[in-house]
Structure 1
Amino acid sequence: MSRVEQPSRRTVLAAAVAAAVTASAGPAAADPEAPMKTHPADAGRAVPSRTVDNRAWRSYADWHAGTRRGTRAVAGARPGLVIAKPAGTVGYTDPHTGTSARWEYGTWTSATHRLAVPATEAVVSWNAHTPSGTWIQAELKGTYTDGTSTPWYVMGRWASGDQDIRRTSVDDQSDGKSTVWTDTLAVDDPSTGLRLASYRLRLTLYRKPGTKATPTVWRLGAMGSDVPDRFTVPASVPGFAGELDVPRYSQEIHKGQYPEYDNGGEAWCSPTSSQMIIEYWGGRLTPEQLAWVDPSYADPQVCHAARFTYDYQYAGCGNWPFNAAYAATFDDLRGVVTRLGSLTDLETLIAAGIPAITSQSFLKEELTGAGYGTAGHLMTVIGFTADGDVIANDPASESNEAVRRVYRRREWENIWLRTKRYNASGKVVSGTGGVCYLYFPARPSAAQRRALAAVGVRA
C-alpha cells in the first residue's frame, strides 16, 4: 500500500465498519510529550480477554481427516494435500486475460471449526507450491450466530507464478449480511450483534488435463477476530529490549519501476517488507529467477516480490494472504496472517528471533519521525529499545540506509492496534486492529514454537 494519505480499496471496508460510529470533530495535533488520552467513545468499554481465533490445517492427520474428492494427503517432513485421481474437469475464463481453458481438479473440505471468538472478520491464508500448469482456489463458508449460513466465498485464486492464471481476489461477493473486501470477509453491521459462529474451508486444486503436475498445499488456515471498536488502546509496559539483524530495503528507490504492478515502488510497502523478512530467514532468489528484472535496478528481489504478490483484481501488492503465500514459496518458510493484541505479543516474538510485518494507518502528526501520513502501510518490527520504543524497518524511506527507524512506543502502539481513527478530512475511518504477517521456519525451534503459541499461532 502507498505511504501517502489517500483512499485505497480497503477503505471501502473502513467506511462500512465506521458507519456505526458517530464523530463530532477531528483531533487536534497531539503533544508528543503528553500521555495519550482515552477517546470519549472508548470510555467504559470492556475489552474482551480474547479477540482472535486462529485455526490451521497442516498435519497429515489434518489433511487425511478432511472430505476429499480427487485429492489425497501426503506424509513426510512437510505433510500436504495433492491431486490424486481428478474429480473432473472444469472451464475457467481468466477475467484479467480473457483466456479460457479446461482444468482437471480435486477438492478438500475441512470439518466445521467453531470459533472460540465469534467473529466480525475472517482472513484465510495458505502455504502452497504450484508448479507450472497448476493453481489453487481457497473458499470459506460460515455459519452466523443467528443460525443462517454464508455462501461459499472465494477468498483467493492463487498461483506462485503468473504464466497460467493471474492470481486474483474476487469482488462483488455478499449475501446481505457479510461481504468479502479483497482478502477480508466482514460482517456488514457488527452493531447488530451478528457474528460468524463457525466456518468450513474448501480447497480446489487445479492442473492442466493429462499432466501429472499437482499443486501441494502445506498449510491452510483462517483468522477470525472480533476486535472492539476503539480510538485508543491501553498502554503496555515495556518488557524486552533487543534487535534482530533484518535486511533493510526501501520501496522509495523503486519509484516508477514496473508501473504495471500498482504504479511502481511508491506502493510496494508490503512486498518490500516481505522480502526483508524472507531474506532474514535465508530465502534467496536465483539469478535465473531475477533475469526478467532490468539489470540497472538496485535490489531486483524487491521488484520480484512486487510482481509475485500482485493481486490483479485489487490492482495492488497489498493483499495480505498473497504476501504470506509468497513467503512460503521459499524453502522451509511458513507464512500466516493474524492479529496480535499488544506490543507485549511483539516482544514475545522478537525475543524468540521472529520479526513481524505490521499494518497501520495514521496522520503525519500521529507518528513522530515518520514524515508522512498513510491510509494503509506495512513495516517490519525488528526490535525494541531499552525504553521500550519500537525499532522498525520502515520501507517508506528514501534509501536503504534510512530504513531503520525508532518510533515512540505509545504512538506506534495506538496507531497499530486501534480500530477507529480520524483521517485528514476529520472523518471517522477504521484502523487495522493489530493485523500482522508472521513468517517463520517450517521447523521452528522449541523457543520459537512457544512464542508462536503464546500469540495464538499453531506452528
Structure 2
Amino acid sequence: MTRPTSRRTVLAAALAAAAGAGTVASAGPASASPSLTSPSLAPSSPATASLVDNRFWAAYADWRCGSSAGTRAVTGRRPGLVISTPAGSTAYTDPHTGTTSTWEYATWTSPAHRPAVPATEVIASWNAHTPQGTWIQIELRGSYSDGTDTPWYVMGRWASGDTDIRRTSVDDQSDGRSTVWTDTLSLDDTTSGLRLVSYRLRLTLHRTPGSRLTPTVHRAGAMASDIPDRFTVPAAAPRTVRELPVPRYSQNVHVGEYPEYDNGGEAWCSPTSSQMIIEYWGRKPTSEDLAWVKPGLADPQVCHAARYTFDHQYEGCGNWPFNTAYATTYRDMNAVVTRLGSLTDLEKLIAVGIPVITSQSFLKGELTGAGYGTSGHLMTVIGFTADGDVIANDPASPSNDAVRRVYQRREWENIWLRTKRYDANGQVRGGTGGVCYVFWPVGPAPAQHRVLRSLGLT
C-alpha cells in the first residue's frame, strides 16, 4: 500500500480551510480532486467520461507540430522525438546527490491543447527511451479561464536508470491558484469557478556534452479532468465476463527488502502491480538487469520495479507517471495515466484483453474480503465474474497464491470512482475519481485499438 505524504495532507488542510469544511483530505499519492466541500454531497449523476480529456502526442506528424529548439521528429514503426543539434548547455545540480553536471539540451513545446472539459486537474505522462548519459524533463503550462497563465511547472525529471540523475518530482511549485502535488497539477480552490482551459507541454532532452547520445520520447501528453465531488457513483450494469491470465505477485513477500526504496515491499503496491502487467504482455527484465538484486530473493523483478519507479523527492514508488514510464522501458510498450468514467469503460478494456491498474482508498469494512484499509492503494483488475464482480490481483496479499481476489462489484465500483469518503473518525477524505494506468503493446490488435481509441488513449 502507498505511504501517506505530509505535503498532500498540508494541501488538503489548506483547501478544507478555504472551503470552510474543516477536514483533511486523503494523503495518498496524487490524490484526485483534493478540494473539500460539505459532507452532505448528493450522489453525482454526470458521466465521468464527459469530464475527462486525454491528449497524447505520439505520431510523426505530432512531433512535427509545436515549436522545436534542437529537436527533430523521427519516423519508423514507433515515431519519436530526439536531439538533432543541441540548443545549448546547462548546469544541473541534483538535489538528491549534490552533484552538479553540465548537459547539452534541446527542447520541444507542444501546440496549445484545449481540453473538451475545463479542468481542475491535469496529470502528465510520457513514454521514453533514455540511454545512459541522457535524461528528460517534462513541464506543463496551463491557461486559466480568466486569461492568465500558470508558470511552467516541472511534472518530472526522469531517466530510466539512476546513475546520471536521480529520478524526481519537484516540490513547492505554486502560483497561489494552482499547485503541483508530486505528479498532479491541481487548482487550489475548485469552488471559485476558475478552471484550466488549455495547456502546453515542454520537453527538454538532455545528454552528455559532446556525445551523440539522445533520449527518444515516443509519447507525451496529459489527462485533464473536472470530476465533481461525490461520495457515491451511479451503478453500471455488468456487461463482460472474462478473466485474463495476469501473473500474480505479492508486495508483502518483499517486506523489509531494500528499505531505501520506501521501506521495502510494504509500500510497493504500484511497482508490483506494474510488474504484473508488464509480464502479462510478455516482457520482463533480463538476468543482467537483475544482477544487482541480492541472490535468493523471491521475484527479484519486483525489487527491480521498485528501484526503477522510485521518486527520490516523494521518497516512494507510487508516482503514477513514473510507473507508466517504467513500463515503457520494455520493448514496444505504451502506457498512460488516465481516468475512466465507469466500470463499463474498464469492462471494455478487459473484454479485449487489456488489464488495468487502478488506484483507490477505503476503510477496512468498505471492501469485503480485503482485510485491510488504506489511504491509497494500487491493484490490478484482471476480469469480471458472471455476476459482474471484480476479479483483481491485489498485491496487498500475504503470498503470490493469495493475490487473486474477487471483490463485490458495487463496493469496488464506488471506492474507485468516488472523490470523497469518510475515514474512521468521520472526517472527509479524498478519493481518486477513477485514476488508473493502462499499458498496451505497440501494434495492438484491431479490437484493442478500437477500444483504446474510443477512450482517447491512442
Matches within 5 A, 1:285-300: 285-300=285-300
Checking the alignment, whether the CA contact within 8 Å between 2:43 and 2:233 is kept in structure 1 is no
Change (3 A) 1:248 1:318: same
Checking the alignment, whether the CA contact within 8 Å between 1:293 and 1:304 is kept in structure 2 is yes
Letter of the 1:235 counterpart: A
Letter of the 2:415 counterpart: I
Letter of the 1:300 counterpart: P
Equivalents in 2 of 1:400, 1:43: separation in Å? 37
Deviation, structure 1 residue 10: 4.0
> Which residue number corresponds to residue 449 of structure 2?
449
Matches within 5 A, 1:49-198: 50-198=50-198
Matches within 5 A, 1:276-291: 276-291=276-291
> Which residue number corresponds to residue 29 of structure 2?
none
Equivalents in 2 of 1:265, 1:41: separation in Å? 37
Change (3 A) 1:97 1:250: same
Deviation, structure 1 residue 429: 1.3
> Which residue number corresponds to residue 359 of structure 1?
359
Letter of the 2:189 counterpart: D
Equivalents in 2 of 1:348, 1:17: separation in Å? 36
Instruction: Please tell me whether residue 325 in structure 1 is matched to residue 315 in structure 2.
Output: no
Letter of the 1:268 counterpart: W
SS in 1 for 2:349: helix
Change (3 A) 1:45 1:12: farther
**Uncovered stretches (5+) of structure 2, i.e. residues with no partner:** 24-38
Letter of the 1:395 counterpart: P
Deviation, structure 1 residue 287: 0.6
Checking the alignment, whether the CA contact within 8 Å between 1:18 and 1:429 is kept in structure 2 is no
Deviation, structure 1 residue 217: 0.3
Deviation, structure 1 residue 422: 1.0
Deviation, structure 1 residue 22: 3.9
How many pairs align?
Answer: 442
> Which residue number corresponds to residue 376 of structure 2?
376
> Which residue number corresponds to residue 35 of structure 1?
none
> Which residue number corresponds to residue 410 of structure 1?
410
Checking the alignment, whether the CA contact within 8 Å between 2:44 and 2:228 is kept in structure 1 is no
Deviation, structure 1 residue 65: 1.2
Query: Deviations along 1:389-410, whole A, 9 cap, x unmatched?
Result: 0000000000000000000000
Letter of the 1:63 counterpart: W
> Which residue number corresponds to residue 431 of structure 1?
431
Deviation, structure 1 residue 43: 5.3
Matches within 5 A, 1:203-218: 203-218=203-218
SS in 2 for 1:279: helix
> Which residue number corresponds to residue 252 of structure 1?
252
Deviation, structure 1 residue 2: 3.0
SS in 1 for 2:277: helix
> Which residue number corresponds to residue 233 of structure 2?
233
Deviation, structure 1 residue 11: 4.2
Equivalents in 2 of 1:123, 1:156: separation in Å? 11
Instruction: Please tell me whether residue 334 in structure 1 is matched to residue 368 in structure 2.
Output: no
Equivalents in 1 of 2:423, 2:235: separation in Å? 22
Checking the alignment, whether the CA contact within 8 Å between 1:15 and 1:430 is kept in structure 2 is no
Checking the alignment, whether the CA contact within 8 Å between 2:44 and 2:234 is kept in structure 1 is no
Query: Deviations along 1:289-313, whole A, 9 cap, x unmatched?
Result: 0000011210000000000000000
> Which residue number corresponds to residue 33 of structure 1?
none
Equivalents in 2 of 1:227, 1:442: separation in Å? 30
> Which residue number corresponds to residue 348 of structure 1?
348
Change (3 A) 1:44 1:155: closer
Equivalents in 2 of 1:121, 1:393: separation in Å? 28
Deviation, structure 1 residue 42: 1.2
Equivalents in 2 of 1:45, 1:161: separation in Å? 44
> Which residue number corresponds to residue 32 of structure 1?
none
Deviation, structure 1 residue 178: 0.1
Equivalents in 2 of 1:233, 1:18: separation in Å? 22
Equivalents in 1 of 2:276, 2:122: separation in Å? 26
**What TM-score do you get using the length of structure 1 for normalisation?**
0.94
Change (3 A) 1:23 1:15: closer
Query: Deviations along 1:322-354, whole A, 9 cap, x unmatched?
Result: 000000010011110000010001100000100
Equivalents in 2 of 1:158, 1:400: separation in Å? 31
SS in 1 for 2:344: helix
Change (3 A) 1:165 1:345: same
Checking the alignment, whether the CA contact within 8 Å between 2:44 and 2:230 is kept in structure 1 is no
Query: Deviations along 1:207-254, whole A, 9 cap, x unmatched?
Result: 010111100000001000000100000011011111000000000010
Checking the alignment, whether the CA contact within 8 Å between 2:49 and 2:340 is kept in structure 1 is no
Checking the alignment, whether the CA contact within 8 Å between 2:48 and 2:342 is kept in structure 1 is no
SS in 2 for 1:115: coil
SS in 2 for 1:334: strand
> Which residue number corresponds to residue 42 of structure 1?
42
Checking the alignment, whether the CA contact within 8 Å between 1:18 and 1:428 is kept in structure 2 is no
Equivalents in 2 of 1:48, 1:349: separation in Å? 17
CA RMSD, Structure 1 to Structure 2 (Å): 1.6
SS in 2 for 1:108: strand
Checking the alignment, whether the CA contact within 8 Å between 2:2 and 2:318 is kept in structure 1 is no
Change (3 A) 1:88 1:431: same
Query: Deviations along 1:394-439, whole A, 9 cap, x unmatched?
Result: 0000000000000000000000000001122221111000000000
Deviation, structure 1 residue 115: 1.1
Query: Deviations along 1:163-200, whole A, 9 cap, x unmatched?
Result: 00000000000001100000000000000111100000
SS in 2 for 1:205: strand
Checking the alignment, whether the CA contact within 8 Å between 1:7 and 1:375 is kept in structure 2 is no
Letter of the 2:110 counterpart: S
Deviation, structure 1 residue 49: 6.2
Equivalents in 2 of 1:48, 1:385: separation in Å? 24
Deviation, structure 1 residue 66: 2.1
Equivalents in 2 of 1:437, 1:216: separation in Å? 21
Change (3 A) 1:44 1:161: closer
Deviation, structure 1 residue 59: 0.6
Deviation, structure 1 residue 445: 1.1
Checking the alignment, whether the CA contact within 8 Å between 1:268 and 1:317 is kept in structure 2 is yes
Moved more, 260-269 or 441-450: 441-450
Change (3 A) 1:44 1:431: closer
